[in-house]
């Protein structure tokens, strides 16, 4: 990743922050995108190595376009986009969910992935190639009580990722999904507190650390990801964990 420009959405905490650190350690210049400007400013300062923080609401198309215009101006291109930003709320049965809250989840988890791809793809095509990884979820493929917005938006993002590779693979772009399983992040704290569906009953000890999906995505950006183009890599797969070096 030496000298590569890597943009990460939802970079202020959890998987996004861990990914920023892992990719920077591998030699990339990371661009941190999140709504919380103070948090990504602090993280960029800790990372160093030219890390750039750009406050951005991924669910706002205009904000995303402006952020990627700044990346183009400041970094002169883009090599990797990690579409990590995601929202679990509202955790509620379908008939109890507020319309605005439900719609906001779609804005972030589905439309935000589209906005990021739409802005990044022309930059990557101009560069002769690039990699886009969408952070997916088991919820994209399996319904869960109280998660109608999350499941529906993640399912849409998974299909969007497949469609993007179908359209752009011939132009040198490598587009894939990455499903991490349950990860020890703030999202799991919210899920636990909800008490809804079996995921909330899991022992926190079973959740993997946030650097595991980060390391998998770094691996996916190299030759290891070539067999997964247009597909979704699951970190629940022990063979994948071994290939990445996460387990013996």
What is the per-residue pLDDT across 47-65, written as a single tens digit (0 to 9) for each?
A: 999 999 999 999 999 999 9
pLDDT of residue 106: 98
Mean pLDDT, rounded, of the chain: 96
pLDDT band at 98 (very low <50, low <70, confident <90, very high): very high
For residues 79-100, average pLDDT: 97
Could you write out the DSSP letters of every residue in the chain?
-TT-EEEEESTTSHHHHHHHHHHHHTTPEEEEEES-HHHHHHHHHHH-TT-EEEE--TT-HHHHHHHHHHHHHHHS--SEEEE--------B-GGGS-HHHHHHHHIIIIIHHHHHHHHHHHHHHHHT-EEEEEE--GGGTS--TTBHHHHHHHHHHHHHHHHHHHHHGGGTEEEEEEE--SBSSHHHHHHHHH--TGGGGS-GGGSBPTHHHHHHHHHHTSGGGGGGTTSEEETT-HHHHHHHTS--
pLDDT of residue 186: 86
User: Is 150 a known active-site residue?
Assistant: yes
pLDDT of residue 232: 98
What is the per-residue pLDDT across 14-31, written as a single tens digit (0 to 9) for each?
A: 999 999 999 999 999 999
Q: Write down the domain spans for the chain.
A: 5-238
* Full-model pTM: 0.96
What is the per-residue pLDDT across 163-203, written as a single tens digit (0 to 9) for each?
A: 999 999 999 999 999 999 999 898 999 999 999 999 999 98
pLDDT of residue 198: 92
pLDDT of residue 25: 97
pLDDT of residue 248: 85
Tell me which of 81-90, 100-109, 126-135, 200-209 is least confident. Answer: 200-209
What is the per-residue pLDDT across 195-248, written as a single tens digit (0 to 9) for each?
A: 999 999 998 888 999 999 999 999 999 999 999 999 999 999 999 999 999 998
Q: Considering 150, 212, 219, 228, which one is annotated as catalytic?
A: 150
CATH fit for domain 5-238, picks 3.30.479.30, 3.40.50.720, 3.10.20.600, 3.90.1300.10: 3.40.50.720
pLDDT of residue 46: 97
Residues of the chain with pLDDT > 70, as a percent, come to 100
pLDDT of residue 50: 95
């Amino acid at each position: 990743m030496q000298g590569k420009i890597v943009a990460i959405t939802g970079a202020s905490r959890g998987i996004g922050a861990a990914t920023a650190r892992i990719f920077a350690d591998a030699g990339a210049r990371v661009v941190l995108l999140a709504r919380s400007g103070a948090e990504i400013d602090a993280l960029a300062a800790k990372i160093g190595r030219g890390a750039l923080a750009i406050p951005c609401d991924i669910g706002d198309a205009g904000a995303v376009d402006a952020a990627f215009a700044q990346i183009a101006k400041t970094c002169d291109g883009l090599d990797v986009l990690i579409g990590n930003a995601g929202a679990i709320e509202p955790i509620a049965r379908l008939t109890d969910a507020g319309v605005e809250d439900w719609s906001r989840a779609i804005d972030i988890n589905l439309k935000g992935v589209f906005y990021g791809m739409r802005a990044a793809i022309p930059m990557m095509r101009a560069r002769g190639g690039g990699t886009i990884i969408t952070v997916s979820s088991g919820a994209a493929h399996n319904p869960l009580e109280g998660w109608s917005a999350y499941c529906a938006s993640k399912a849409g993002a998974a299909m969007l990722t497949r469609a993007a590779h179908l359209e752009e693979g011939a132009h040198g772009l490598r587009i894939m999904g990455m499903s991490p399983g349950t990860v020890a992040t703030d999202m799991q704290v919210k899920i636990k507190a909800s008490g809804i569906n079996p995921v909330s009953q899991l022992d926190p000890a079973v959740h993997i650390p946030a650097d595991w999906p980060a390391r998998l995505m770094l691996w996916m950006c190299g030759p290891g990801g070539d067999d997964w183009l247009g597909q979704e890599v699951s970190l629940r797969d022990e063979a994948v964990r071994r290939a990445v070096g996460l387990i013996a």
